[in-house]
Amino acid sequence: MNLDRKLVGLLRRMKVVPEKVRQRRSSGPGAHLSKGLGQSMDFSEYRPYQPGDDLRALDWKVYGRTDRLYTKLYVPEQEETVCFLLDTSLSMTEKWEAMTTVVLGLANVVLGQGDRVAVLPLENTELADSRGVAASRGRSALSQISRFLDATQPSGLTPLTEAFEVAARKLKRRCHVVILSDFLRPDAGLPGLSQLRYRRHRL
C-alpha cells in the first residue's frame, strides 16, 4: 500500500516522539567533543578553544565575527523506537485498511525523525516470534511494514489482556508503544497494559 503524497506532506509536520523526551533522554552524558563529528552527534553549544581541542571542531565563522576561537560541542543523538501493537482479530477486518494507513503514516513520520519503527501483532502466544517487523529504520523499514500489513489477514479472537502481557515480554528494550485496536472484547485488555507500564514503555 502506498500513501497519498498530499498525506505524506501533511505528516511531515508531525512529531511522534516529543522533542522534550528526546532531550531528556540524551542529557545524561553531557556535551562533549565528537571524535568523528558524524551524523550520530547533535550540536549542543560553544566553549572557548582549549589547547588539544580537535581543530575540525572550531567554528571559523564565529572566529570571523569575534576574532576568538570557539569549539563546537556535541551530544549523542538519542535514537528512539516506536512499536505499533496491532489487533489482528476478526473484528478488525473492515478496519484493516484504515489501520494500515494510520500505521504507514505514523511510521513515515517516525522514520523521518531518524528513529526506529517496529510492528508486533497482538497474540496470546509467544510461539510466533517470527511474525511482525523488528525495530529498523530507513526506507527499507517502511517497505517491510507495508509487506507485512498486506500479508496479514485479521482472524480469530485475541484476548487482549494476555496479548499485552506477551507483547511486554517480547519488547526487550524500552520504547514508545502505539496500540491500534477496536477494543471490542469484554476484557478490553486494560489489565495487561500494566505489564507494559511496569517495563517502562511509553503508551
The 10s digit of each residue's pLDDT in 119-128 is 999 886 655 4
* Residue 168 or 40, more confident: 168
The 10s digit of each residue's pLDDT in 98-137 is 999 989 989 988 888 888 899 999 886 655 445 789 888 8
Q: Which CATH number fits domain 5-14+79-198: 3.40.50.410, 1.10.10.410, 3.90.1150.10, 2.40.30.110?
A: 3.40.50.410
The pTM of this model reads 0.66
Percent of the chain, pLDDT > 90?
23
* Residue 24 or 119, more confident: 119
Range(s) within the chain of domains with CATH label 3.40.50.410: 5-14+79-198
Q: Which of 16, 202, 6, 203 is nearest to 108 (CA)?
A: 16
Alpha carbons 102 and 66: distance in angstroms, whole number: 50
Torsion over CA: 57, 59, 60, 64 (sign)? negative
